[in-house]
């Protein structure tokens, strides 16, 4: 098995799957090839891999003879990787097939299939649980038998269980312990045909969360481009369908936003060679066979273009935006997207925390994205000060746009000492009232957490306002009701950690804090708020590595160097020794050797660590990248693209670098890079 992940976003991954007849770039669409009727050379339109039906070949004497003598690749005239189905589709249609599991597995190996499939039982949706359980046991028995029968054939084994999530998970757990190479998720076509996309989400997530991360997942029968982005975001890597030809047969055109009927078209919908060469009327006047082939070409072009767009979105970190766009094509797709909030905890573990693309708020569904869930979780571990000042949003970064502050503030009253008592406690009786007020405010600001309230991240301490994605996000100027409610709830939880709360009039009115007991608070003008650089670097480190990491990294007399061009923090030194660099693109720290040493001393084992075996130890010390097969342990909470420490079994620091995979994936994979080492030499 040789599957390697190159890029990640959400649960989606761009990867490579090596087979005997070539490498498949995932996510990938596998056009269905009928072994006796194919007229279109799908490789001409972007296909790297195809799927055909071994059972149809087996049952046809002429096809079987050619396949056995010359191989399935010659039979269907496709030189690249070929996946074969076992006859399960026919079993679902007719209730029976005239071949045994052992016979069809052996046949697939004899005809040179790259990836074969065991003869599972495709249990349809919404059947009685007793039937689903009975057929699931048969599927698992046949899966085990297929492994005993095969010699070197790469094998699929299909996750079944109807629409019972617990049965899907049970099946995935069992198959994951067996030596399969790919895991299709089967019997989902009826869900897609009846627009039951919310149930599709439940079936897919119940399956992928229990399958090994190191194996590709294949969503069987999913051939419409409008579903690709959502399925990829849930962790599906391979798709197959005959939709391109079946829809063409019915004079329908596939598009990422839905399906178009030729009879209704005034203009052609895209820029493929079919749409730019013919008008709708010309196509309608053609003979059926010629029109069908042209529409099938259009459908292939659109489908492969969508897959390329998805891969690009994963690389640049904008997959969620694409998913939100696509799911607005149909109300039931939008419902399915909203149901993903039930899986926020899982999705956050797989979603990289730092991306090349800004966060775009496209609607209430964006509030459920992993970036928001992660930020709010991190805010619960950021140490709180005694008092907080809540400011409305401004241009980003907020700390550089504080020249236009609100004119009126309120204090949320409680039983803590009031403003007048603080005045009396100061030992400056001869000062004027105005001067005294100013001193009180300045003294308070030193121990006050200044926080901006904004959508979609709720609360943003000024010290963090340059960290991704808090600075790299855009949302409309006007708040929608869902975002107001969400931020209001966040504020209630956030404010519980403070003894004193000062809030601007705009924040109080916008987020319904005026329902609380408020008293006007006399902040003098101008209000001079300056973010302390020492506090900034420590809070960023806490946010990035965990509570207390700031003191561990930057304890003592450290020197902060700023960019001459932007005035922003760039480097932190201890004397002549570089501790860390604050990366301009996302506002987080990139460790230097001294920073790695300090973090290693501070963080308890195995926090932020990737542990390698003895074979990899000398390569790590030389600064070579770490491959997953050499990892013997790691922090399970590591995310992709995070700064990590590379150690040996005795927790000796060997090197440090950037993780390619998350902790769970690092432990599960046996191929590909796990960490891109930055420096060794310890």
Q: CA-CA distance, 579 to 597, in Å (whole number)?
A: 9
Backbone angles phi, psi at 196, to 5 degrees: -90, 60
Find out whether 240 and 30 touch, Cβ atoms under 8 Å.
yes
Residue 675, beta-bridge partner list: 626, 659
The position carrying tokens 């440090």 is 656
Under the phi-then-psi rule, with left for phi > 0, alpha for psi from -120 to 50, and beta for the rest, what region is 290?
Answer: alpha
State the CB neighbour count (10 A cutoff) for residue 179: 9
Q: What is the 3-state secondary structure (H, E, C) of 532-557?
A: CHHHHHHHHHHHHHCCCHHHHHHCCC
Q: What is the 3-state secondary structure (H, E, C) of 571-617?
A: EEEECCEEEEEECCCCCCEEECHHHHHHHHHHCCCCCCEEEECCCCH
Find out whether 254 and 332 touch, Cβ atoms under 8 Å.
no
DSSP secondary structure code for residue 358 in this structure: -
Please indicate whether residue 85 is annotated as part of the active site: yes
State the CB neighbour count (10 A cutoff) for residue 520: 10
The strand order across the sheet containing 409-412 reads: 458-461, 448-454, 387-392, 500-504, 409-412, 518-521
Chain length of the chain: 682
Q: CA-CA distance, 562 to 6, in Å (whole number)?
A: 34
Give CA separation, 170 vs 132, 209, 592, in Å. 12, 11, 45
Annotated catalytic residue within 9, 77, 85, 651: 85
Closest CA to 306 of 326, 332, 279: 326
Find out whether 225 and 303 touch, Cβ atoms under 8 Å.
yes
Please, which residues have CB within 8 angstroms of residue 128's CB and are 6 or more apart in sequence? none
Closest CA to 398 of 321, 488, 459, 446: 459
State the CB neighbour count (10 A cutoff) for residue 669: 24
Give me the active site residues, please.
Answer: 85
């Amino acid at each position: 098995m040789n599957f390697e992940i190159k890029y990640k976003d959400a649960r989606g991954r761009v990867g490579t799957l090596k087979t005997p007849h070539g490498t498949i770039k995932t996510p990938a669409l596998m056009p269905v090839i009928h072994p006796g009727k194919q007229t279109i050379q799908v490789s001409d339109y972007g296909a790297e891999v195809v799927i055909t039906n071994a059972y149809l070949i087996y049952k046809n004497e002429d096809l079987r003879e050619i396949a056995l003598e010359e191989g399935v690749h010659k039979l269907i005239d496709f030189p690249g990787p070929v996946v074969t189905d076992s006859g399960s589709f026919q079993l679902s249609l007719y209730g029976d097939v005239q071949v045994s599991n052992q016979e069809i597995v052996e046949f697939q190996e004899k005809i040179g299939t790259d990836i074969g499939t065991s003869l599972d039982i495709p249990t349809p949706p919404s059947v009685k649980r007793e039937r689903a359980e009975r057929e699931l046991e048969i599927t698992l028995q046949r899966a085990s038998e297929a492994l005993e029968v095969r010699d070197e054939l790469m094998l699929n084994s299909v996750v079944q269980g109807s629409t019972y999530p617990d049965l899907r998970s049970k099946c995935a757990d069992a198959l994951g312990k067996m030596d399969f190479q790919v895991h299709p998720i089967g019997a989902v076509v009826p869900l897609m045909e009846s627009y039951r996309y919310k149930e599709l989400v439940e079936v897919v997530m119940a399956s992928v969360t229990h399958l090994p991360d190191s194996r590709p997942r294949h969503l069987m029968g999913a051939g419409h481009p409008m579903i690709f982005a959502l399925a990829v975001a849930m962790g599906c890597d391979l798709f197959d369908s005959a939709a391109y030809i079946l829809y063409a047969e019915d004079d329908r055109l596939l598009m990422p936003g839905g399906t178009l009927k030729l009879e209704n078209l005034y203009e052609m919908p895209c820029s493929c060679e079919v749409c730019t060469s013919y008008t709708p009327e010309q196509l309608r006047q053609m003979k059926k066979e010629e029109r069908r082939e042209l529409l099938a070409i259009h459908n292939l072009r659109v489908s492969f273009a969508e897959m390329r767009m998805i891969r690009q979105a994963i690389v640049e970190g904008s997959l969620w935006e694409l998913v939100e766009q696509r799911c607005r094509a149909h109300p039931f797709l939008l419902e399915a997207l909203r149901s993903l909030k039930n899986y926020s905890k899982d999705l956050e573990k797989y979603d990289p925390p730092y991306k090349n693309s800004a966060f775009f708020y496209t609607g209430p569904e964006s509030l459920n994205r992993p970036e928001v869930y992660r930020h709010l979780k991190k805010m619960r571990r950021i140490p709180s000060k005694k008092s907080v000042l809540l400011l409305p949003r401004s241009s980003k970064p907020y700390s550089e746009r504080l020249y236009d502050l609100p004119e009126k503030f309120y204090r949320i009253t409680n039983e803590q000492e009031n403003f007048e008592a603080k005045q009396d406690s100061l030992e400056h009786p001869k000062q004027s009232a105005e001067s005294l007020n100013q001193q009180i405010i300045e003294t308070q600001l030193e121990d006050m957490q200044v926080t901006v309230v904004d959508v979609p991240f709720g609360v943003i301490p000024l010290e963090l306002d340059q960290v991704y994605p808090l600075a790299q996000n855009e949302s409309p100027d006007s708040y929608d009701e869902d975002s107001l409610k969400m931020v209001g709830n966040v504020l209630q939880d956030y404010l519980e950690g403070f003894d004193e709360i000062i809030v601007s009039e705009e924040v109080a009115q916008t987020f319904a804090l005026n329902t609380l007991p408020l008293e006007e608070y006399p902040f003098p003008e101008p209000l001079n708020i300056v973010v302390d650089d020492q506090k900034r670097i420590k809070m960023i480190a806490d946010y990035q590595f965990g509570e207390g990491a700031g003191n561990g990294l930057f304890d003592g007399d450290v020197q902060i160097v700023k960019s001459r061009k932007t005035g922003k923090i760039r480097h932190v030194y201890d004397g002549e020794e570089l501790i860390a660099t604050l990366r301009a693109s996302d506002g987080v720290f990139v460790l230097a050797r001294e920073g790695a040493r300090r973090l290693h001393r501070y963080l308890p084992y195995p926090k932020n660590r990737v542990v390698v075996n003895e074979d990899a130890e000398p390569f790590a010390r030389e600064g070579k990248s770490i491959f997953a097969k050499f990892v013997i342990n790691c922090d399970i909470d590591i995310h992709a693209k995070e700064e990590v420490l590379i150690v040996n079994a005795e927790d000796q620091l060997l090197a440090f670098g950037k993780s390619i995979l998350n902790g769970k994936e690092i432990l599960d994979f046996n191929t590909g890079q796990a960490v891109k080492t930055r420096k060794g030499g310890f």
